[in-house]
Chains A and B, each alone.
Chain A
C-alpha cells in the first residue's frame, strides 16, 4: 500500500555538483528527500527476498560466552539451548584433571543448520571462574579475551586489502550464571558484571532454578534486579540503546518482569503425558525444561535465539566494538573525535585490558 501523498510538492532541493574548478566535495550534502507517489506496483519489496537469500547463503556467526562458578549447569544449559552436545560437561572430566589455577578461556566452534540457515556457533567456556580461594580480578582474563577479539576484528578491518567477509569472533552474548542462593547477589557477581557490562552484552540467568519455590523465585528476582539497578549495571537489553517507543515498551517488559531468567537445563528426555520432553527426574516429579510453569528456559531461548539474536550481534558491532575502536584510536594523543584515522598512530596493544569507562 503506498502512502497517499498529495501531488503538489514543495520546491525540490536540487543538489547540483559542478565538477570544475571546485575541488572534490568532502561529503556530499545530505539530500532532501521528496515523497513520491507510486502509481502502481513496481517490485521494490522484492528486495526483502533478495536480501534474505543472500544472507542465507553467507551464513551467520554467533559467539556466546558462559560465565559462572563450576557446577552451576553452564554446559548443560548451552546444550539444552542448542539441542546438541555443544559443550563438554565438567562432570565428564577425569579425576586427574585439576581445577584450573586461573580462569581459562575455551572456545569451541560448531556449525549447525536449520531450515536452510547455516550458523557457525562458538561457545566460549570459562572454567575456573570464581573457583579459587582468592578470586580477585578473575574477570581480567575474560575481559582480556573479549578485547582481544575486538582487536582482531579491528586489525582485519584496517587492512588495505580486506577480506570479503571478516571472520567475526567477537563475543555477542555473555550469559552470567547467578547462584540460586535465594538471598542476593554475591560480591563477585557484582564486580564481574560491573566491569564487563561496558564491553559486552551480559544476560544474567539464575541457574538451577528448580531449587526455589515460586515465591522464592519472584522475590529473588526482584532483589537481584534492584541490586543490579543500585549498582548501575546495565544488562542486555540496555536501556540506553532502545531506539523507539515500541522497542522501549517491549524491552521494558522484559527487563522489569522476566529478567533475570530463572532456568533449568537438561539434555535427558522423559515421557510426560504421552510426549517426550526434556526434563529432570526427581522423586517428587519431573521438571519439564520447556514448560513455562516450571521454569523460564523457553523464555530465555526465545529471547536469545528467536527474537534478539540479530540485535545482540548488532549491539556488539555498532556499540561495543565502536566504543573499543574509538578508545583504541583515541589513546594516541587524545585526538578529538571525528579526526581521521590517517595521521594517527595506533599504539601497541596494552598488556592489561583497556580501561573501561568508569
Chain B
C-alpha cells in the first residue's frame, strides 16, 4: 500500500505543473486563500495524510449507516413488493386493507449487512393513501411525519448535553412516489402531494406496475408527467452532476425520470437461469431486464451511486430549511433592524426582556382587575346594607304608627268606659226610683254592659297582642 502510495505521489508531483484541478470551485478557493493569506505548499516527500478519507470511512463503518426511505402511493400499487425487490429481501409485511379512514404511516427498521457495511434501513409506508372518498387531508400526515423527524433531530441538536454522533438519524432521506400507470397524466392528488413534499424531502417519482403500460405509451406518459411536474413547479430530486466520475451517467438518468418499474420476488425460469419476473400467459416480464423496465436503473441510482448524496442533501438542504423556518417562527433572526448582524445571544436577551416586560404588564393588569373587583363588591355590599337599614327604619315607623293608633283607641275606649260607668251609676239611681219599668231597662243595661265588657275585653286582647 505504501509503495503504491509513494508511486502515486511521485506521479502526482511530476504532473503538478500541468495538472489543473478542474473543479469549478478552484477560483473561489484561490480567492479565499488570498483572503486568509494561506499559501499552497508543495511537500518534499510523502507525508501520509492521504489515508485521511480511509480513516474517516473506517469510522463510519464502525458506526454503521442509516438510510430511511418513504414510500408514498395508493394501496395495492406495489410499494412493498418494490422495496423487497430493491433490497432483495422478503421484508415481512401483510397486504393492507382499503378501508382505513385516514392516511397513516407505518415505519419498520431493518439491519442489513453486506461485506463490512452495516446498514440500518428504515422503510416508511403510507397506509390508506388515496383510499378515502375525501382526499383533501391525505398529504398532511405525511408532511407531519417528515416534520416530526426533523423536529426530533433539531431538539437533539439544541440540547445542552447532546450526543449527536450516536443519534439514530430517522430523517427521511428519499421519498419514492408511486404513480399509477394510467398512461395519461398525473392525478390531482399526486400533484398536490408532491407539491407539499418537494421542499421537505428528496422525491424520486416512479411509475409503478409499469408492465401495464406499453412501450410507446410509456414514452409519452413520461414526457407528460415531467412536463406537468415542471409546469406545477414541483422540484423533484436531481441526480448530482458535479462529480466528474458520475456526472455523465447521472445526467443521462435524469432524462429517464420517472423510472418505470416492475417489482417481483417470484422467480421464473428464463433460458437456463432463474430470474425475478412476472409470468403472464403472453410472456414473461423480467424485472432486471433493462428492455422490460427501469428497475435496474432505479437500483443503480438509488443505492449504488447516490445514496450518500441523498443523505447529504437531506441534512444540508432540507433539514437546514426546516431548522431555519422553525427558528424564525419562534422569532429568532440573524439580522437586526438596522441590518447589522445580531447574534443569537442578543436575540435571546431581547426576547427575554420582552417576555419579562410582558409578564410584568400582565401582572399589573391582574392586580388592577383584582382591585377593581374588590371595589365593586364593596359597593354592592354597601348598597345592600343601606337598603336593609332603610327597610328597618320603615318597619319601625310603621310599628310606631300602629302603636299610636292603638293607644288612641284604647284611650277612647277607656273614656267610653268611664262615661258608661257614669251613666250606669246615674241610671241605677233612676232605677231605684222607678223599679218596675226599669226591669226591662236593666236587662237592656245588662246586655249593654256585657256588650261593652266584651268590647273591652277584645280591645284589651288586641292591645296586648300588638303591645
Residues in chain A within 8 A of chain B (CB atoms): 1-3, 9, 12, 14-20, 24-28, 30-48, 50-57, 60, 62, 81-86, 109-117, 119-120, 155, 158-162, 164, 301-302, 305-311, 314, 318, 322, 325-326, 329-330, 335, 337-342, 344-346, 348
Query: What is the chain A residue whose CB lies nearest that of B110?
Result: A36
Chain B residues close to A by CB (< 8 Å): 5, 8-9, 12, 23, 33, 36-57, 59-61, 65, 86-92, 102-117, 119-120, 122, 140-141, 144-145, 147-149, 151-152, 155-156, 158-162, 164-165, 168, 170, 243, 245, 299-300, 303-309, 312, 316, 320, 323-324, 327-328, 330, 332-334, 343-345, 348-349, 352
Given contacts A20-B102, A28-B152, A60-B52, contact A111 B39 (CB under 8 A): yes
Q: Are B348 and A344 in contact (CB under 8 A)?
A: yes
* Given the contacts A33-B109, A51-B308, A322-B162, A42 and B151 also touching, CB distance less than 8 Å: no
Q: Are A38 and B112 in contact (CB under 8 A)?
A: yes
Contacts of B37 in A (CB 8 A): 109
Cβ of A114 and Cβ of B53 under 8 Å apart? no
A114 near B89 (CB under 8 angstroms)? Answer: no
Task: Indicate if the CB atoms of B87 and A31 lie closer than 8 Å.
Answer: no
Question: Which A-chain residue is minimally distant from B68 (CB atoms)?
Answer: A31
Q: CB distance B47 to A81 under 8 Å?
A: yes
Query: Max chain B CB contacts within 10 Å: which of A12, A47, A62?
Result: A47
Give bound CA distance, A246 to B416, whole Å.
134
CB of A213 to closest CB in B, whole Å: 29
In the complex the two chains form, what is the Cα distance from A242 to B245 in whole Å? 38
What are 25 A-B pairs with beta-carbon distances under 8 A? A1-B115, A3-B113, A14-B108, A17-B148, A19-B140, A33-B109, A34-B109, A38-B87, A42-B88, A44-B112, A50-B307, A51-B57, A84-B41, A109-B37, A112-B49, A113-B40, A114-B49, A116-B12, A119-B49, A159-B334, A162-B323, A310-B59, A318-B164, A330-B160, A337-B161
Residue of B with least CB distance to A329: B160
Cβ–Cβ < 8 Å partners of B151 in chain A: 24, 26
Contact partner of B53 among A55, A86, A322, A325, CB < 8 A? A55
The list of the 6 closest CB pairs from A to B, nearest first, reads A115-B50, A19-B141, A337-B161, A31-B109, A310-B55, A50-B308
Output the residue of A310, A339, A346 with the most chain B CB within 10 A. A310
Min CB distance B105 to A, Å, is 5
- Do A20 and B168 have beta carbons less than 8 Å apart? no
> What is the distance, in angstroms, from B379's C-beta to the closest C-beta of chain A?
44
Q: Which residues of the partner chain B approach A159 to less than 8 Å between Cβ atoms? A: 334, 344
Measured between alpha carbons, how far is A26 from B39 in the docked complex, in Å?
48
B residues less than 8 Å from A160 (CB atoms): 323-324, 327-328, 332-334, 344
B112 touches which one: A36, A82, A119, A311 (CB < 8 A)? A36
Contact in complex: B110, A27 (CB < 8 Å)? no
CA distance A117 to B9 in the complex (A): 11
Q: Which of A39, A48, A110 contacts B89 (CB 8 A)?
A: A39
Alpha-carbon distance A83/B44, docked complex (angstroms): 6
A57 and B307 CA atoms in complex are apart in Å by 16
Structural contact, B9 and A115, CB atoms closer than 8 A: yes
Find chain A residues with CB under 8 A from B45 CB.
83
The interface residues of chain A lying within 8 Å CB-to-CB of B49 are 60, 62, 112, 114, 117, 119, 305-306, 309
B332 touches A109 (CB 8 A): no
Cβ of B41 and Cβ of A57 under 8 Å apart?
no
Check B243–A18 contact: CB distance below 8 A. Answer: no
Instruction: Name which of A301, A305, A318, A330 has the most chain B CB atoms within 10 A of its CB.
Output: A305
- Bound CA–CA A257/B59 (angstroms): 25
Q: How far is the CB of A287 from chain B (nearest CB, A)?
A: 18
Closest beta carbon of chain B to A114's beta carbon, Å: 5
Is A114 in contact with B140, judged by CB distance below 8 angstroms? no
CB-nearest residue of chain A relative to B48? A306
CB-defined contacts of B46 to chain A, threshold 8 Å: 83, 114
Are B53 and A117 in touch, CB under 8 angstroms? yes
Q: Do A114 and B160 touch (CB < 8 A)?
A: no
Cα distance A60–B54 when bound, in Å?
12
Which residues of A lie under 8 Å from residue B33 when comparing CB positions? 111
On whether the beta carbons of B41 and A110 are closer than 8 Å, the reply is yes
- Nearest CB in chain B to that of A290: its residue: B45
With contacts A34-B111, A44-B112, A44-B117 taken as known, whether A26 is within 8 angstroms of B152 at the C-beta atoms is yes
A17: which of B23, B61, B104, B327 is its contact (CB, 8 Å)?
Answer: B104
B412–chain A nearest beta-carbon distance, Å = 88
B160 near A17 with CB under 8 A, answer no
How many angstroms from the CA of A308 to the CA of B323 in the assembled complex? Answer: 33
On whether the beta carbons of A85 and B41 are closer than 8 Å, the reply is yes
Is A47's CB under 8 angstroms from B117's CB?
yes
| Known contacts A33-B109, A48-B61, A57-B23; is-contact A117 B152 (Cβ 8 Å) | no
Residue of B nearest to A319 (CB): B165
Q: Please, how many angstroms separate the alpha-carbon atoms of A36 and B109 in the complex?
A: 10
Chain A, Cβ-Cβ closest to B93: A12
Task: Give every chain B residue within 8 A of A330 (Cβ-Cβ).
Answer: 160
Q: Taking the nearest CB of chain A, how far is it from the CB of B206, in angstroms?
A: 17
Having A36-B111, A84-B42, one finds 19 other A-B pairs with CB under 8 Å, namely A17-B105, A24-B144, A35-B110, A41-B88, A47-B119, A51-B57, A54-B309, A54-B312, A55-B53, A83-B46, A84-B41, A85-B41, A160-B344, A162-B320, A306-B48, A306-B51, A337-B160, A337-B161, A346-B344
A218 to B427, CA, bound (A): 162
- Partner among B158, B300, B333 whose Cβ is within 8 Å of the Cβ of A340: B158
Q: Give the residue name and chain of the A residue nearest to B5 (CB).
A: A115
Do A18 and B114 touch across chains, with their CB atoms under 8 A apart?
A: no
Q: What chain B residues lie within 8 Å of A62 (beta carbons)?
A: 49
Q: Which residues of B contact A85 (CB under 8 A)?
A: 41
Known: A38-B112, A344-B348. A115 touches B12 (CB 8 A): yes
Q: Which of B86, B108, B304, B334 contacts A34 (CB 8 A)?
A: B108
Question: Are A110 and B40 also in contact (CB < 8 A) when A83-B45, A340-B159 are?
Answer: yes
- Bound form: Cα–Cα A81–B49 in Å: 11
Given contacts A12-B92, A322-B162, A337-B161, is CB(A55)–CB(B56) below 8 Å?
yes
